[in-house]
Amino acid sequence: MSTKVIRSKADLAINGAPPAFDQPLHVGRPNIGDREAFLQRVNQILDNQWLTNNGPMVQEFEQRIADYLGVKHCVAMCNGTIALEIAIRALGLEGEVIVPSWTFVATAHALYWQGITPVFADIDPTTHNLNPDAVRRMITPRTSGIIGVHLWGRAAPIDELQAIADERGLKLMFDAAHAFGSTYKGRMIGRFGACEVLSFHATKSFNTFEGGAVVTNDDELAETMRLMRNFGFHGYDNVIHPGTNGKMIEVCAAMGLTNLDGHAEVVACSRRAHATYTQALAGIAGISVLAYDQNEDNSHHYVVLEVSDTCAATRDQIIIALQAENVLARKYFWPGSHRMQPYKDLFPHAGLMLPHTQRIAESVVVLPTGITLSQEAIQTVSDAIRTVASPRS
């Protein structure tokens, strides 16, 4: 799709040259597996005349995910946010819960939506994950739990957070929306804390169109969440728990089963893309590509740049220049949840406790990835960044 060579600032679309790409290059382009296999499954669903409500595809999907992650239970849901809400409620969280601000806003919203106050703790600027010391500082008598987030699929400091939770009598769960297939100290994410929540949204490395799940080794918790996602029904006409509609539908499970078969290939492709970006962007003053620990598994789905003050261009100048080339890079998760509503009005001074979050939020650029992105396109995107970020000669 791209043929343009960008060698100097004059070649940049921002200076009037034609854009590098005639079609927009998106962050979050879905990875879509074997189309024929998916359509066959859809036909099977139509033949079954069973479209939702814990159908055979969902049951097979749950078993495959549980086996893959090595956990006892996978409770599939309609999306990651509802999965978070159901997990939070099933765990009995209340009062205040400590979360990072540096995450997608769904983590905080899932608490606030249920009348629980999200209390934002700062991150370690090198890992982008919760800093355990910052978590300790935010504990009050009203704190009931901690939600760690494995941002960019890189595991939160699980052992340290578990130690704090044990010491202070708090519940611990994880938002593992980015971490499908990631490991922590060689063990699959999914088994840590009381439970972990996955998102299978279209934009994730592994998707079910929309979807999510809570995975856990806790039998009772899993049973409660199964009730909660289906209005509390236990058999026909028998409601034994308050609940909502959090069910995954059959066609989403069909997508999940298909994409699961192709997931290893997707990860290999993302790993290559990440390596190509890293190489192509090496040596630009003030720009670094977030690295993944080679001793751990990670989907390599996110290519995250940090633009520091020593770069010849600001983060926003890079984003604008890329947009002119039709490269729709994103500032995830700018400006940070604490500066989004309602938290901005509720906690106007939260930023005082979040210096690293605020600095990182000003410096991040997330670049397009996905199985349809060619190596040539990655090179062109990188050339554009190098040109914008080079000092004027």
- Asked if 109 interacts with ligand T4K (CB under 6 A), we say no
Q: Which stretch binds ligand T4K (CB under 6 A): 58-66, 124-132, 174-182, 337-345?
A: 174-182
Residue 27 interacts with ligand T4K (CB under 6 A)?
yes
Q: Which stretch binds ligand T4K (CB under 6 A): 38-46, 98-106, 118-126, 351-359?
A: 98-106
Give whole-number Cα distances, 377 to 5, 71, 200, 277, 321, in Å: 11, 38, 26, 10, 16
**Among the candidate windows 73-81, 113-121, 278-286, 301-309, which touches ligand T4K by CB under 6 A?**
73-81
Whose tokens are 């990670």? That residue is 298
Per-residue string for binding with ligand T4K, 119-158, x by CB under 6 A?
------------------------------x---------
Q: Is 203 in the site for ligand T4K (CB under 6 A)?
A: yes
Rounded Cα gap, residues 288 and 284, in angstroms? 8
Q: What's the closest the beta carbon of residue 137 comes to ligand T4K, in angstroms? A: 23
37 binds ligand T4K (CB under 6 A): no
Taking the complex as a whole, how short is the minimal distance between the CB of residue 204 and ligand T4K, in angstroms?
A: 7
Q: Considering the rule CB under 6 A, would residue 207 count as an interface residue with ligand T4K?
A: no
CB atoms within 10 A of CB 322: 27
Nearer to ligand T4K, 122 or 175 (CB): 175
Q: Which of 30, 55, 153, 193 binds ligand T4K (CB under 6 A)?
A: 30
Select the span of 74-82, 135-143, 344-352, 383-391 touching ligand T4K (CB under 6 A): 74-82
Query: In this chain, which of 2, 26, 73, 89 binds ligand T4K, going by CB under 6 A?
Result: 26
Contact between 290 and 128 under an 8 Å Cβ cutoff? The reply is yes
Nearest distance, CB of residue 282 and ligand T4K, angstroms = 26
Name the residue nearer to ligand T4K (CB basis): 42 or 328: 328
- 52: nearest Cα among 287, 185, 211: 211
Interface with ligand T4K in residues 309-348 (CB under 6 A)? 328, 332
Give the interface segment with ligand T4K, choosing from 25-33, 88-96, 153-161, 162-170 (CB under 6 A). 25-33
CB nearer to ligand T4K: pick between 79 and 387: 79
Q: Crossing angle for the helix pair 80-91 and 219-228, nearest 10 degrees? A: 120
Which amino acid would we find at residue 312? Answer: A
- Closer to ligand T4K at the Cβ: 101 or 284? 101
**Measured distance CA(21)–CA(2) in Å, rounded:** 5
Strands 187-188 and 183-184: antiparallel
| Closer Cβ to ligand T4K, 104 or 347, answer by number | 104
Q: Does 178 bind ligand T4K (CB under 6 A)?
A: yes
- Cβ pair 184, 296 in contact under 8 A: yes
| 205 neighbors 31 (Cβ within 8 angstroms) | yes
Instruction: Tell me: does residue 28 bind ligand T4K (CB under 6 A).
Output: yes
Cβ-based nearer residue to ligand T4K, 98 or 284: 98
**Is residue 229 part of the contact set for ligand T4K (CB under 6 A)?**
no
Collapsing DSSP states into helix, strand and coil, what is residue 245?
A: strand
> Parallel, antiparallel, or unpaired: how do β-strands 187-188 and 327-328 relate?
unpaired
Contact in structure between 146 and 168 (CB atoms under 8 Å): no
CA gap 378, 211 in Å, rounded = 29
What's the burial of 91, exposed, middle or buried (CB within 10 Å: 0-12/13-18/19+)? buried
β strands within the chain, DSSP E: 25-26, 73-77, 96-100, 117-121, 143-149, 171-175, 183-184, 187-188, 196-199, 212-216, 287-289, 303-307, 327-328, 364-367
Positions touching ligand T4K (CB under 6 A) are 26-30, 79-81, 103-104, 106-107, 149, 175, 177-178, 199, 201-203, 212, 328, 332
